[in-house]
Amino acid sequence: MDDDAPLSALKAKPKFDDDAPLAALCKKPAPKAPAPAKKPSAPPGEKKAPSAAGTTASAKLPIKAAQPAGAKKRAGSSSSSSSGSSSSSSSNSAAKRRTKAARLKKGASTATVGGEDNDENYMPKRGGRTPKESVVAELLCRWWYVLPDWPPKDPEFYEAELTKQNYRRVDINNWEWVPEVDDRGRKKVYELQQYRGVYRDSLGGEVDLRPRDSCPCQNNLMKKDLPDLYQMLVAAYENQVKDIENSPYSATANARHKIEIMGQLARVREKAQQVAQMGSWNKKK
């Protein structure tokens, strides 16, 4: 080493052990890479413009959010469940369509409850009724114009029925202070205010004393002959026309309603005459 070398060069001289090979002593150290040149810093108050390379890289490579572990499994399970539910819903809808088609062939249409087809409860088509069923349905819409009041308003009728069934009527206000059975062995019941002829006993059981044979229902009206049903329907329309005068609505509305009912009355009268002629013709035969 030269005598004029600085002391820093002496310190940077590598130290070798006595056991180091000669090749290591002759080997020159690798030259150091030059340090990169520093970019001039932007003056204070100015923002640094993003580099073109950074913008293109960020545009080409969108950042993806890290998915938690098991996300793929959940996606697969949801797809399988959705496919299973879709297949089951399609099978259910296909079954409903087949059921609906079968009933339509028989002359019945399914009724919709809540916007969906209800396979258990369905109403028959109007055209599927027999002539007698059509008259009964029309008569049940205005039976109070031709038939007596039902249930009966006579309290003696219910007292007699209670005695037959070994019951006695008790006022609800005195219910707690009246014994369950009186000296004649009759159990106590109280009448329901909203249903005339219906009672409750101490156990909450229902005691219905309304007469079944005079009930204005389809079963009882279907037992009558068709000419009699038409005569009852004519009388019901005639009494309905008379009752329009007692309506609390305006005169214009009542007049319009009266015209409609008169048209129905003319139609029913014509039908009643045809049925009566057919009945007389069948008797002659």
One domain for residues 204 and 224: no
The reply to whether 222 and 267 lie within a common domain is yes
211, two tokens:
């007469």
197 and 231 inside one domain: no
Using CA atoms of 136, 275, 263, 238 in order, give the dihedral in degrees to the nearest 10.
-70
Looking at the structure, tell me whether residues 223 and 279 fall in a common domain.
Answer: yes
Instruction: Name the residue range of residue 272's domain.
Output: 217-284
Give me the amino acid identity at 68. Answer: P
Q: Are residues 237 and 202 in the same domain?
A: no
The owner of tokens 């180091």 is 20
Q: What is the DSSP letter of 213?
A: T
In a domain, 7, yes or no: no
- 194 and 253 in a single domain? The answer is no
- d(CA 185, CA 167) in angstroms, rounded, equals 8
Same domain, 270 and 233: yes
From CA 205, how far away is CA 165, in angstroms rounded? 14
* 190 & 228 share domain: no
Token output for 110: 């399914």
Distance between CA 58 and CA 63 in Å, rounded?
A: 8
Residue with tokens 């509305």: 253
Q: Which of 164, 181, 208 is where one domain is finished?
A: 208
Kindly state whether residue 70 falls inside one of the protein's structural domains. no
Amino acid letter, 138: E
Res 97: pLDDT: 73
Q: Which of 188, 208, 228 is the last residue of a domain?
A: 208
Residues 230 and 266 occupy one common structural domain: yes
> Into how many domains does the chain fold?
2
Q: How many Å apart are CA 87 and CA 84, to the nearest integer?
A: 5
For position 29, what pLDDT does the model report? 60
Is 273 found in the same domain as 229?
Answer: yes
Regions in the chain scoring below 70 on pLDDT: 1-92, 100-127, 280-285
Q: For the chain, how many residues are written? A: 285
**Is residue 277 domain-resident?**
yes
Considering the domain boundaries, does residue 176 fall inside one? yes
Instruction: Identify the bridge partners of residue 239 per DSSP, sorted by sequence position.
Output: none
**CB of 96 within 8 A of CB of 119?**
yes
Q: Are residues 221 and 272 in the same domain?
A: yes
- Would 54 be classed as within a structural domain? no
Residue 111 within any structural domain of the chain: no
Mark which of 208, 225, 254 sits at the end of a domain: 208
Q: What is the DSSP string of 106-167?
A: TTB-PEEETTEEESSS-PBPGGGS-HHHHHHHHHHTSGGGTSPPSS---HHHHHHHHHHTTE
Residues 234, 277: one domain? yes
Residue 44 burial by Cβ neighbours in a 10 Å radius (0-12, 13-18, 19+): exposed
Is the Cα dihedral 97, 103, 104, 110 positive or negative? negative
Whether residue 74 is contained in a domain is answered as no
For residue 14 the two structure tokens come to 């590598």
Alpha-carbon distance of 201 to 170, in angstroms, equals 10
For residue 257, being part of any structural domain is answered with yes
